[in-house]
Structure 1
């Protein structure tokens, strides 16, 4: 796929005839559970930031504290590392399914026990930046160094270097810098499709395993989003059922976005548990890591022109 000459967006994609994914076992839907691990790397004056974190905590719409600490926000993030992560860990391991962690390097550094638990569970740990910040205005040399620092931290703390990357709040340079690092199979900084696809970067075709912000627990922390676990569970079930029906002819991929401090709350975890029960009951799902999706796609659907 190529964008129209002179216009850097591809609004065509696979069009009316997407490729047959050919997921292992004839699965109709490849289900990617993603746990974002960010706690301890959010904005904080203790780390030299200009103010406190004002995004994705329980006091919706509260402005960040300029030049000082917001102890309420700090403790809400701390909940994700202290309690929420372990509730998610218990739920996922009870179902004996894999997931991918989008891990912020500094967050792992501040809770090495969680990093060891991820590795021991056999979860894929992908890079999610060194800090949980917006990299749009970060100098290129700092972003490059942060990518390298994150790779090193994950390798040391988890026991295996990351092969996937997701910044989330990217700069215009992020994909190029990830490609230049040289050790990644894929990145997930895209929301534009139900299947993996290739983009040209650095003279090569790079694999994108797209993510999603619709089937995502962050909607508990925005206005007019999810309110109860039933809200999220209904949306996850509806999404899976639609993709399952379409997958009879054209298998698809489903991303489920999770956060320790959000889904890890006792009133919300039932959404994850119920969804996993539903997938097991209906069948047709390949619950897997993004690394395995990437490796399958690279083998079954290699780029037509790897160099261009």
Structure 2
């Protein structure tokens, strides 16, 4: 049977460690910038977003409660996260929706000035599974252009909220300029799609999205203990095989005053390991591409 899905991956032939400076683990912090790209009737969208601190959707009317929840991320959360990174010399990837970039260009400019990467996260904060080819291609081009214009740097990475379409990766390649995407959740090791395009796995478990209702994280230590546990396991495995770790963050989630200590604890723990390589995703992708050549 020929299967369209690869269930085996690297099993039985995992690549040996090969990160820069003999690092045992590559660590990627990804900050999702979605504020202003969430669905909102007040912005002319078809409905209001219903995924935030409470489980509620206002139907047919503007929802200032939801909107101000998101806006907290730019007004307060960003500064806490950026300062925490600065304290430990960490460079991250700010995965940004095009409409969010258009509304808060100052934020991306500040992130770039601190040495962070800015990548693409769709135009609106929405999945792409139902998009048809021409519409999705236009959305990709619009997103890329908005982020380049806002940040001053052409983005080279892409990550879809939730499900991409079956055409997304081909459309990224057709657009040009993209070095990697993160639309997979099936491994702890990068891989090549073809000779030029890298696939960097992402993760929903080592992610502050689990502070959302029903996600399992409540106290800041819930986040830090889980993420540190995952780091320690991958760090140990990284002595014998290649390992990469993604830590997902959101301005409006980990940026809250009762949660930011969770990120600070994670940063302190990882910083204590001299042979952990913390890098933006474009650097990880470039290194992986180089060693596969």
When the two structures are superposed, what TM-score results if normalisation uses the length of structure 1?
Answer: 0.91
Q: 1:8 aligns to what? A: 4
Would the alpha carbon gap of residues 272 and 27 (structure 1) be closer, same or farther in structure 2, given more than 3 Å must change?
same
How far residue 105 of structure 1 moved from its aligned partner, in angstroms, is: 0.8
Q: Deviations over 1:15-74 (max 9, x none)?
A: 12211240001111100000000000100112322221101x111x32x22221121111
Say which SS state the counterpart of residue 139 (structure 2) adopts: helix
Query: Of residues 26, 29, 36 in structure 1, which corresponds to 2:25?
Result: 29
> Number of residue pairs matched?
292
Gaps of at least 5 residues in structure 2 are none
Match status 1:58 vs 2:53:
yes
Say which SS state the counterpart of residue 30 (structure 2) adopts: strand
Alignment of 1:1-308 (within 5 A): 5=2, 7-55=3-51, 57-59=52-54, 61-62=55-56, 64-169=57-162, 170-199=164-193, 206-302=197-293
Out of 207-216 and 166-175, give the one that drifted further: 166-175
The 2-side partners of 1:82 and 1:126 are apart by: 21
Say which SS state the counterpart of residue 145 (structure 2) adopts: helix
The 2-side partners of 1:256 and 1:45 are apart by: 31
Say which SS state the counterpart of residue 193 (structure 2) adopts: strand
Alignment check: 8 A CA contact 1:244 1:284 kept: no
How far residue 277 of structure 1 moved from its aligned partner, in angstroms, is: 0.6
Alignment check: 8 A CA contact 1:136 1:172 kept: yes
How far residue 168 of structure 1 moved from its aligned partner, in angstroms, is: 2.3
How far residue 224 of structure 1 moved from its aligned partner, in angstroms, is: 4.6
Task: Compute the RMSD of aligned alpha carbons.
Answer: 1.4
Gaps of at least 5 residues in structure 1 are 303-308
Q: Deviations over 1:247-297 (max 9, x none)?
A: 111131100000000000011111111111111123321000111111111
